[in-house]
Amino acid sequence: MEIEKDGYPNPPKQENVGGCLFTVVLLFVLLSFFPIFNSPSKTEVPYSQFRNQVRDGKVGKVVVGENRVEYFLKKDLESAEKSKSANPDKSYVTVPLPKDQTLPNLLEDNKVEFEVKPNNGNNSIFAVLGWLIPPFLLLLLLAWLANNAQGLGGASNPLNAGRSKARVYLGDSNEVGFTFADVAGIDEAKAELEEVVDFLKNPERYTRLGAKIPKGILLIGAPGTGKTLLAKAVAGEAGVPFISVSGSEFIEMFVGVGAARIRNLFEQAKQLSPCIIFIDELDAFAKSRESSGMFAGGNDEREQTLNQMLTQMDGFEGNTGVIIIGATNRPEVLDKALLRPGRFDRQVVVDRPDKIGRLAILKVHTQDVVLEENIDLSIIAGRTPGFVGADLANLVNEAALLAAREHREAVSMSDFNEALERLIAGLEKKTRILNETERTIVAYHECGHAIVGALVSGPVEKISIIPRGVGALGYTLQLPEEDRFLMLEDEIYARITTLLAGRSAEEVVFGKISTGASDDIQKATDLAERSVTLYGMSQNLGPIAMEKPQSSFLDGSYNSRRPVSSVVAAAIDREVKEIIETAHNQARLILKTNRDLLEEMAQHLLEQEVLEGEELHSYLNRVKAP
């Protein structure tokens, strides 16, 4: 476990043991090889040449080995004496004939100094090194690993593999960094957790009546709704240590490491009691064992970690002061044993904020941002339905960056509008130049969206033929006027009609179609199919769900269609096709009725590239129903 604040110091810095050992081993090896490095150069010669040189009186000294003969010439020995060197710089080596008994007599007859030495002198050095160097290298490797592990808080040390990787913050709210004042837009979730804060501050109030605080609290919500921030705020309000870890940090290649880390986490949490353990992305190791497939009941690392988690949550009393807060956006995949009473027995939904919540979040994130006096944050909150806290924080930051880029003294409403368009449609790509034919097609396409959308699905704020994002050659911006939590059948069909209006405009004006409507067609088809298979809006098939949502908090996450008969599948296809064709025909009828207005708007858009505000509304107010 890594302690990051005063009072729970990090492990002290260790000396560079690995570096010292490496230096010692290197010196040892160099000294061992010193005699070799200092030996003269050796030249291989034939044995016959050696004997001839002996007879000619050129050889001064001979060293006879077991399998070879090394000798020095007289001239080299004389040169070494003059230079006062211990050995000549050059010697000669030859391999004698096997069992040559005449060599000693030959050397004596020619008065050559000779000596006999075993030929394993240097081999003895290598034998010693062969025994000593491998253990030293092993010690060097272990010291290097230990030294690096200290530099990383012990995370990489193989001897500390079972230690938790959790980060610990002190209970002081200034060090945790957050309180409930920093959390906005999720008042219901805050109210649920106030009881936890009160228990951590005043445990006697509950224990004297025999009450037990829930051991585990599960925060459920879409990504970016503030689950981690809320958990930190609980610790900051209560003034207790906050232990934070991700669920993926328990899973390793070796079975048993995750379970050991769970045990270590709970042991250190008890030492810091009262405290809060926060496990983010709990589903990383706590998925249902029913979906484990061939590994169900086996020696799987994820299952071992989950089993240890279940055991640890049963192994301490609820009033020990250790509160476990988990967070996930996939509660449907969690193991049922983890959610039973006595473990994670309280679930708190951290939902997307409504307009009032978004306004509160914007006020929190703009506290340190210089705003113009005329900015109305409620307008921005109304234009951002579906945005979570992370999205709104990003929106404020993008607006501030745009204002700074333009060297303005304060952030204006136009900066927020541009930042919102960036988040929705992507960055403007003014360098992408369309030819005249493409600009014309895009202009009529977007005007078709605007005319049909203004009539059937709601107000249009802006039309542009400036390319944005990935593949968007133009866009039509529709912003809702209020939060909507349900969609009526008529509204779904109106949305499909608006999506198909761009393609319909191309057909009405040019009599042929382009590839620009591919994304619109995909979205329209998905929405039509969902209305039939998920929402049960088909008159022929009735209220039967053919799809099952995989997650309530991850957008667009749906399972494949349930197994159905070929007859039902064909009926679904017919229903979807009928919905699409009806919407397509309605869009063409609206555009034919407003053909002159479509022409006028498109020409104006080709000149200005952007239509918005009163200028745009003056056109759309003239749209006539067929």
Query: Is the Cα torsion angle 311, 158, 156, 299 positive or negative in sign?
Result: negative
Cα(418)–Cα(384) distance, rounded to whole angstroms? Answer: 13
β-pairing, 41-44 with 90-94?
parallel
Active-site residue, selected from the candidate residues 446, 461, 506, 529: 446
3-state secondary structure of 217: strand
Token code pair at residue 289: 């064992």
Question: What H or E segment, with its residue span, contains residue 248?
Answer: none
Helix residue spans in 33-114 (DSSP H) = 34-37, 47-55, 74-82, 103-109
Asked if 516 and 486 count as a contact pair (C-beta separation under 8 A), the reply is: no
One DSSP character per residue, 553-584 reads SSTT-BPPPPP--HHHHHHHHHHHHHHHHHHH
- Identify the three-state secondary structure at position 465: coil
Strand order in the sheet with 41-44: 41-44, 90-94, 69-73, 59-64, 113-116
DSSP secondary structure string for all residues of 282-305: GGGT-B-GGG-GGGTTSS-HHHHH
Q: Which two tokens stand for residue 100?
A: 């040559």
Question: Known catalytic residue: 332?
Answer: no
Helix H or strand E segment including 513: none
Structure tokens at 604: 């104006």
Q: Which of 224, 216, 239, 225 is nearest to 169 (CA)?
A: 239
Number of residues that this document lists for the chain: 626
* Helix intervals (H) in 457-594: 489-499, 501-510, 518-533, 566-593
Query: Catalytic amino acids?
Result: 446
